[in-house]
Amino acid sequence: MSKELLRNIPSVDEVLRSDELTRVRQVYSAALTADATRGALDGLRKDALSGARPDLSLSNIARLVEGRIEALLRPSVMRVVNATGTILHTNIGRAILSEEAQKAVARAGGSVNVELDLATGGRGERDAHVEALIKRLTGAEAACVVNNNAAAVLLTLNTCADGREVVISRGELIEIGGSFRLPEIIKKSGCILKEVGTTNRTHPKDYSGAVTDKTALLFKAHTSNYRVVGFTSGVSLKEIVRIGRNKGVPVVEDLGSGALVDLSSYGLPKEPLVSESIKDGADIVTFSGDKLLGGPQSGIIAGKKEFVDRIRSNPLKRALRADKLTIAGIEATLRLYLDPDKLVDRLPVLRHMTRGLPDIEGAAQKAKGLIKDALGTGYTVEVEDGESVVGGGSLPGHVIPTKVVAITHPTIKPEEIFRRFLGGTPPIIGRVNKDRFLLDLRTVEDAGDVVPG
């Protein structure tokens, strides 16, 4: 049976010469068309061998060939609509860039003066585009930018403590998003981890007692994505700096999110400010550029000039440095902070965190009507109270009241509704919660964006 079918599969040449393939041949190159034809015929052969009865007509084969070429040419990275209720969603690219930053990134696609000193025409320094801004916004003496905060931590540890001991509280040995585990980063940096205290309590004497002539650093990590509650005690950065100064050991803090403005002035819980850590005496502070800061993926290293200079001249810096697109995007983002009054309007992360309920409800009501019309009968579409989170390891445990569009159907499972929205163009990313499919409008600027196409 399958032998007979196999014999009926036309040859590559036959398909390529066929009238059915005329249009494909006209639109796409010969190489692309031949390759897709081979692929389509291979697919049909496999189907036939597995006992299926594929349609072997030339018109169907032409359709398969065209489908293969289109799939090959379609961009894999595409716009999606974030209706998850998580403002900084790691799977969908964390911070949405401001318009200014998006423009700067697009501009940087061309030739830019990333390492060119326009005053002399000679070699420039890529960090120079952002260093003055970071110094101004954080009070640090010097700063540089790398690929992400994981790289910032790795580079800082490797520069300051290669082959020596790094003292850190057991309560701060964090894992972020599965692949960033502080104990592993410390090891990969060439350093020896020296844990002190216990999971829930660490005292100043734990740090001072751990310092020996092998100690290179006292390290403090912001426990970004979790909280230890109950019978706990930690040691403040200020206190660790006091101990470090006494013993002549530098102090590094990994702040994770690293806020540049006080979120409590916007009615949100306070996140530690980079400027406070600098003021409290940290020699180096590291933080992400694409969490609360609201820029492109990057890691910022800020602190004492002596240490930043050493970090900059570590050969690993070359391997971990930020590219021109990132430098342009982070520069444009940092520049927005120079005008705090307009920051909420311009910086999407902050705008979405502080967006008012009536505004979200208005968008949700509009979306409800549009979605009802698009889905047809049988679906129940309601606007309900919901909860958004900041995500990206920022403001753990804090929820922000929001309005969601809840969609249910008597026989269609919420996971199926989730997949239907996911399959749209662009894909609309909602979430399933307690047997309902939810779309959170907090991060959606245009209600029409959550209507499945």
Ligand X SMILES: *Cc1c(COP(=O)(O)O)cnc(C)c1O
The sheet carrying 400-408 orders its strands as 380-388, 400-408, 436-440, 431-433
Which part of the chain contacts ligand X (CB under 6 A), choosing from 121-129, 144-152, 277-285, 436-444? 144-152
Cβ of residue 8: shortest distance to ligand X, in angstroms?
54
Q: Which of 156, 202, 288, 402 binds ligand X (CB under 6 A)?
A: 288
Q: Helix crossing, 128-138 with 324-336: angle to 10°?
A: 30
Nearer to ligand X, 86 or 288 (CB): 288
Nearer to ligand X, 222 or 366 (CB): 222
Cβ of residue 393: shortest distance to ligand X, in angstroms?
4
Q: Is 224 in the site for ligand X (CB under 6 A)?
A: yes
Nearer to ligand X, 65 or 97 (CB): 97
Nearer to ligand X, 360 or 389 (CB): 389
In a 10 Å sphere around its CB, with 0-12 CB exposed, 13-18 middle and 19+ buried, how is residue 448 labelled? exposed
Cβ of residue 327: shortest distance to ligand X, in angstroms?
16
Q: Give the count of residues interacting with ligand X (CB under 6 A).
A: 15
Site for ligand X in 301-360 (CB under 6 A): none
Binding mask 173-212 for ligand X (x = CB under 6 A): ---x---x--------------------------------
Nearer to ligand X, 283 or 449 (CB): 283
Q: Is 393 in the site for ligand X (CB under 6 A)?
A: yes
Q: Which of 221, 260, 350, 363 binds ligand X (CB under 6 A)?
A: 221
Cβ of residue 334: shortest distance to ligand X, in angstroms?
16
Which part of the chain contacts ligand X (CB under 6 A), choosing from 204-212, 218-226, 230-238, 407-415? 218-226
Nearer to ligand X, 256 or 294 (CB): 256
Which part of the chain contacts ligand X (CB under 6 A), choosing from 22-30, 143-151, 197-205, 443-451? 143-151
Binding mask 237-266 for ligand X (x = CB under 6 A): -----------------x-xx---------
Cβ of residue 252: shortest distance to ligand X, in angstroms?
12
Nearer to ligand X, 395 or 441 (CB): 395
Q: Which of 148, 202, 208, 402 binds ligand X (CB under 6 A)?
A: 148
Q: Which residue is nearest to ligand X (CB)?
A: 256
Q: Which of 89, 194, 222, 403 binds ligand X (CB under 6 A)?
A: 222
Place of tokens 């190489």: 31
The dihedrals phi and psi of 327, each to the nearest 5 degrees, come to: -60, -45
Q: Is 149 in the site for ligand X (CB under 6 A)?
A: yes
Cβ of residue 361: shortest distance to ligand X, in angstroms?
32
Cβ of residue 291: shortest distance to ligand X, in angstroms?
6
Is the C-alpha dihedral spanning 151, 189, 180, 195 positive or negative?
negative
- Give the residues lining the site for ligand X (CB under 6 A): 148-150, 153, 176, 180, 221-222, 224, 254, 256-257, 288, 299, 393
